[in-house]
Chain A
Amino acid sequence: MRWGAFFLVALAVAALIFGCASAINNDYVFFAGYTVLQFIVLATAWNILGGYTGYVNFGSAAFFAIGAYSTVFFYKFYPMPIPVLILIAAVISGLIGLGMGYLTLRLRGAFFAIATLALAVVLQTLIVNWNYVGGSRGAYIIRPSSVDYIGSYVHYLFLIMLALAVVALTIAYAIEHSALGYGFATIRDDELAAEASGVPTLKLKLIATTLSGALMGMAGAPFPYYIGYLQPSSAFGLEYAVNSIAMPIIGGTVSWAGPLVGAILLGTLQQYVTVTISSSVNVLIVGVLLVAFVVVAPNGIIGLITSIARRGRRERKPA
């Protein structure tokens, strides 16, 4: 399937989801659905760097927050419609992703992860001390109550995040089925052999950090409108960093479907637990699931399914 066809199918599925959610016509469905969709975008974005090239980014929350705070900045400076804000956030966080890639290009493994975590801390300190965007007090965003043609503002935000999820998944799919995907995988497997095969590893790493950062920023841009009040500790929340790593790992990191499955599963579970038990159990659930999957299915749900399918094929063959 070409990526164009994938895009159309994803668009059709998204339209179906929006249709179903509208049929239920309960604002909570949109409210909870937005969070799950946001994690689909974040997990897919993380996976472009972490899954495809094997560079673990612990600073997802920073990119998410850059997106959110660029919206806060422009809300005060010169209000613009959300789709424009998303594009601006993509440019800013993409550039910061590029910068992070340049600064950390010699670091691998755990050292890269620590450096990205440090980036998050530095950026949070900057935001806390920047009065214009609210500093540590936080900033209020007053959202309009309704939007033309769509109705409730939550429905509008849901639709935007749905579109972003389609875009993110299509990008991931297109990468996987192109020379770029091969190049990313060679970086994950063996950088020395990749260079010897003519793969410009540095350039590809920078493409990955830029793309991944830009998509995370895009996921964060509508967030202030969703939450209404943004403070540094919620934008830089640990849950974003942890979830965007845990979801691809639980779903499977080698294909676009992994982060999607992981985000739907974990995101829905967290929403359910938040309502029925308590929101603080969330992190516990992520931790337990992460440990369980690393032990039982290190390649995630998608990896588990493909290995079962392969074993089945092999057993049928000799008969």
Chain B
Amino acid sequence: MNANLLEVERLGKRFGGFVALDGIDLAVAAGERVGLIGPNGSGKSTLVNCLCGTLGNYSGAVRFDGRDVAGLTAHQRTRLGMARSFQLPRPFASMTVADNVRVPLLYTVNARHAPRLTGEAVAARAAELLALVGLADKGGQFPRDLTQVEMRKLELARAMAADPKLLIADEAMAGLSHSEVEDIVALLIRLNEGGITVILIEHIMRAVMTFSQRLVVLVSGKKIADGSPSEVIRDKEVERAYLGQ
């Protein structure tokens, strides 16, 4: 019996001569809240892109839900239950906010279940998701009319619409104000309590410390620490990477 939802084994990725990821091992248990931190250019987003299938051609293995996902495209991994939000929001600009959320329902949830959701069920679920992130009254608007924090919430709502087992939030809070950050952290914790495993990639330490049960640190493509947040931030090596010597 294997309780780990996600298992990453010796994951490596090179861009030409540049080693972006160097032998990353990572295991995430079902229901866990993991924070992933590291300085700029340490390979966090590359790791996310390898996990989600946006980047192929990596060495090592990624197992999700007991299954090796090598060779699966991004949409196939999403259908398996791996959802992500993007570092810079990437909404479907020509669609309304509600339609943005409708896409994963039509293409992921409906691809998974044998009895497809009816048009009404899709609309109801989309409204429910928008209410969950606090965008209930924005459904008819276009993404260009949203504020930065609303855009992040849409990004999360769209990821959640795929009904994932694992949610990877790639810097969902960059550029947000103090109270907005708290807003999003509370939202992510609420999602986690609903049974979803969450990996949070973030620079804002306050958010990471409140959120994470476990903290993983990447520096120059290597994992240098993995443990409880309070221990990890006292780690000498982590201190060195962040503050220099």
Contacts and interface: CB of A to CB of B under 8 A. Distances in A.
Contacts of B104: 197-198
B52 interface: yes
B90 A179 contact: no
| Interface-centre pick from A179, A186, A197 (highest chain B CB count, 10 A) | A197
Interface string A163-206: 00000000000000001001101101110111111111110000
Contacts of A201: 75
A190 to B, nearest CB: 5
A254 interface: yes
Interface in B3-60: 52-54
Contact of B92 (A193, A198, A200): A193
Contact of B75 (A182, A185, A189, A195): A195
A193 B90 contact: yes
Contacts of B169: none
Interface stretch (B61-69, B105-113, B234-242): B105-113
Given A179-B106, A194-B103, A199 B75 contact: yes
B158 interface: yes
A182 B91 contact: no
Contacts of A192: 54, 74, 86, 90
B149 to A, nearest CB: 19
A185 B78 contact: no
B147 interface: no
Query: A interface, how many residues as a size bin?
Result: 20 to 34
Interface in B75-108: 75, 78-79, 83-84, 86, 90-95, 99, 102-104, 106-108
A102 to B, nearest CB: 16
Contacts of A199: 75, 103, 107
Nearest to B52: A196
Interface residues of B, number: 30
A201 B74 CA distance: 10
A197 B110 CA distance: 12
Given A197-B162, A198-B108, A182 B99 contact: yes
A179 B107 CA distance: 8
B79 A198 contact: yes
Contact of A196 (B83, B93, B99, B106): B83
B74 A196 contact: yes
Contacts of B94: 185, 188-189, 254
A189 B95 contact: yes
Q: Is the interface of B mostly helix, strand, loop or mixed?
A: helix
Contacts of A197: 75, 78, 103-104, 107-108, 158, 161-162
B73 interface: yes
Nearest to B162: A198
A183 B95 CA distance: 11
Nearest to B122: A179
A197 B74 CA distance: 9
Nearest to A254: B94
Contacts of B159: 196
Nearest to B90: A193
A206 to B, nearest CB: 14
Given A182-B99, A193-B86, A198 B91 contact: no
B86 A183 contact: no
Nearest to B92: A189
A208 to B, nearest CB: 15
B10 to A, nearest CB: 25
A179 B78 contact: no
28 contacts: A179-B106, A182-B102, A182-B106, A183-B107, A186-B95, A186-B103, A188-B94, A189-B92, A189-B93, A190-B91, A192-B86, A193-B90, A193-B92, A194-B75, A194-B103, A195-B74, A195-B75, A196-B75, A196-B78, A197-B103, A197-B108, A198-B78, A198-B79, A198-B107, A198-B108, A198-B162, A199-B75, A254-B94
Interface of A: 179, 182-183, 185-186, 188-190, 192-202, 254
8 nearest A-B pairs in the assembled complex, by CB-CB distance? A198-B108, A195-B74, A193-B90, A189-B92, A198-B107, A198-B78, A179-B106, A197-B104
Given A193-B86, A200-B75, 20 more contacts: A179-B110, A182-B107, A185-B95, A186-B92, A189-B91, A189-B93, A189-B94, A190-B92, A192-B54, A193-B158, A194-B75, A194-B92, A195-B54, A195-B75, A196-B52, A196-B54, A196-B74, A196-B83, A197-B108, A197-B162
